[in-house]
Chain A
Amino acid sequence: MQALEPGIVFWILAVVILVSGFLVVTLRNMFHCALCLILCLFAVAGIYVLLEAEFLAAAQVLIYVGAVAILIVFTVMLTSDLASESLIQHNENGTIAFVVCALFAIGVPYLIKNTGVWMPAKGELISDNVGSIGKYLMTDFMLPFELVSVLLLAALIGAIVLARKERS
């Protein structure tokens, strides 16, 4: 694989992510915020495709765009006062949150770039990464994979218990 050179697609995606991300936290209509969030998450999936991580991209679209964002849109639409009301998207913690986020945004890439002590990957890069993830889930990582289904069962039952309207 050749060295990754950020091409034109990367820059387009980056601009889309940043602009839509910014709009999510500034727009005054909750519904518009949700739509911007979907756009932002979609563009992140595009970055994954660029990095040849197809599985991550698919998971990103399925889970974040398909499930989480749609859930947010539904919540906004089904909650009567939310869709129409104009939001105030800042509070007294804004400055401190900005400082923390800025430090994080600068700090983590700096850290990753300057450490340079990473375990080199063994062998060649796997071209069929969806297949090999599947293989690992069914062999070495079978136990965590099965445990997740127990976890989902617990979450499902819990959600029903909490959401159900009680007859007394």
Chain B
Amino acid sequence: MEFQLPEYNLRMMLPEIFLFLWALVVFLFDLLSKRRSESAVGYLTLLGLLICGGLLATTGYGRGFGNMFFSEPMALFFKIIFLGSAFMAVGSSFGIIKQKIVNHRGEYFGLILLSTVGMMFLASSQELLSLWIGLELTTIPLFILAAFFKDDKLSVEAGIKYFVFGAFSSALLLYGFSFLYGMSGTTEIVAMKMNLAALFIANGSLGVVPLVAMVMIIAGLGFKLSLPPFHQWAPDVYEGSPTPIAAFLSVGSKAAGLVAFAKIFVNGLWAFWGAEMAPNDWGYLTGILACAAMIYGNVVAIRQTNIKRMLAYSSIAQAGYIMIGMVAVNEWGLEAVAFYVFAYLFANMGAFAIVAIVEDKTGSCQIGTYRGLSQSSPGLAACMAVFLLSLAGIPPLAGFLAKYKVFAAAISLAGQSQDYTWLYWLAGVGLLTTVFALYYYVNIIKQMYFSAEESPYRIKPNAPAVAVVAIGLIGVVLFGIYAEPILQFVKDIPAAAGVIPR
């Protein structure tokens, strides 16, 4: 039997390998220090993430393992987002590792790192098998992290719910992939596209199998992105899991789902076979889901009294806005998606960090806890207000620019092509629901600032949490006013991902 080994080019995946090894170091450090590592293990994790970021910056573009591992602008950009969200999640965990997690600090941080490794591999894969395994490596540590407070009923419930939904959605996704593999005889996305196109030319049609596969893949990824009607797990899981993990789920895991979606749909299988060959079915379907997400998420968020549940519904709605950019498959679409996720990273992680700080002090996540916060801890209240306003999309914050870019991409495509006039409706729904969103975001600001009673809590956050809030604040404000470097970077993404301007 002859063997031909692919060119490994291990240098390309140095950041991933490093992060994996660092996770082992973190596990062992906690073990060898006889579980008395306190916050040292947290700082160790932060250090690892920083070094990994540095390695990422020096790696450059290329490929490894034959066609298995690609380092290209989209992968790089999203890897920065994954590392950023992991960094901010770890940074806001120092409160709970002092109070609640006493025995398994190393495992807690190590599993966050392993999940991040999964996301990074996912972002670099151009092949369905490694993409799927990357997605599993992302979610399986998160099942455990969601249930990390073993004595807390809500946390265990969150873990089980997330596990059942996650396993089911992975199975659906894999089933969809298997149909595609059966049709095309390959798992590589680009080769699959070519093979399907060849089949189409030979037979005149592809039958319904691609449609069935598409529905299954959208359903499977819809669970990960919590798009209605696949969103039911999100509020319960966010409410029950440790707050930093909820934050990581809402940004890191969601961004991972988005990368997978972009790889499969936007620059993948259903893209650009020409108008007669690729009816934009996935676009319609995703558009409907995005619409449902924006309307449902924003309307239900208004009625929430628990701030984590409110942020969960808000993140459902945010996923809807992001999907508008995904559906707008012109040269601005993917760019807008990437920038949106970037802005969302700072605002959402920042908001969750403050929720974690308040929860550490008060033990409560009720919105009522925030009453009068502006008098007792003015700095915290001001930061929270900025994050919420950015999530709502108020200029001059980064959230505004992100929403603007997404809507602009949709509207410009609707103007360019007859087939896409329905994008006007999508953008219209988006603009309209932004108004609902403003209501519940501003409600919290109202509680903090315009309440007669003074908050009984004087909150002194720990240093890493302050750093996380500061990073969020700088990101939200700086990239709202001066986003030029990021915009330059995201400009490369669509072209490198194979999106042809139309």
Contacts and interface: CB of A to CB of B under 8 A. Distances in A.
Given A111-B212, A154-B140, A162-B150, A144 B199 contact: no
A91 B118 CA distance: 39
B117 interface: yes
A119 B68 contact: no
Contacts of A96: none
A120 B185 CA distance: 8
A162 B144 contact: yes
B159 to A, nearest CB: 8
Interface stretch (A20-28, A65-73, A145-153): A145-153
B3 A139 contact: yes
Nearest to A168: B102
A139 B107 CA distance: 32
A166 B114 CA distance: 23
Given A135-B3, A139-B3, A154 B141 contact: yes
Closest 4 CB pairs of A and B: A158-B144, A115-B207, A119-B185, A143-B68
Nearest to A153: B114
Interface string B49-60: 000000000000
Given A139-B3, A148-B133, A119 B150 contact: no
Contacts, number: 108
Interface in A84-120: 111-112, 114-120
B232 to A, nearest CB: 15
A119 B199 contact: yes
B205 A117 contact: yes
Nearest to B137: A151
Given A139-B3, A139-B5, A144-B129, A151 B183 contact: no
A111 B146 CA distance: 39
Contact of B184 (A112, A119, A139, A155): A119
Given A111-B212, A117-B199, A119-B185, A158 B141 contact: yes
A111 B27 contact: no
A116 B103 CA distance: 57
B6 A140 contact: yes
Given A140-B66, A154-B111, A162-B144, 13 more contacts: A111-B212, A114-B207, A116-B207, A142-B65, A144-B133, A147-B133, A154-B114, A154-B144, A157-B107, A158-B141, A158-B144, A161-B107, A162-B150
B146 to A, nearest CB: 11
A142 B130 CA distance: 10
Interface in B93-139: 102-104, 107, 110-111, 114-115, 117-118, 121, 127, 129-130, 133-134, 136-137
B417 interface: no
A118 B182 contact: yes
A142 B6 contact: yes
Question: B-side binding surface: helix, strand, loop or mixed?
Answer: helix
A119 B69 contact: no
Contacts of A114: 207
Contacts of A157: 27, 107, 110-111, 144
B4 A150 contact: no
Contacts of A167: 103
A151 B195 CA distance: 31
Contacts of B20: 150
A166 B148 CA distance: 12
A135 B1 contact: yes
A41 B111 CA distance: 34
B130 A147 contact: yes
B452 interface: no
Interface in B54-84: 64-66, 68-69
A120 B199 CA distance: 10
A141 B129 CA distance: 9
B130 A143 contact: yes
Contacts of B185: 118-122
Contacts of B27: 157
A161 B182 contact: no
A59 interface: no
A48 to B, nearest CB: 15
A168 B151 CA distance: 12
B377 to A, nearest CB: 32
A138 interface: yes
Contacts of A111: 207-209, 212
B471 interface: no
A161 B111 CA distance: 11
B207 A117 contact: yes
Contact of B183 (A119, A121, A150): A119
A112, A115, A154: residue with the most chain B Cβ atoms closer than 10 Å: A154
B203 interface: yes
Contacts of B392: none
B337 interface: no
A164 to B, nearest CB: 8
A131 B150 CA distance: 44
B206 interface: yes
B147 interface: yes
Interface in B123-178: 127, 129-130, 133-134, 136-137, 140-141, 143-144, 147-148, 150, 159
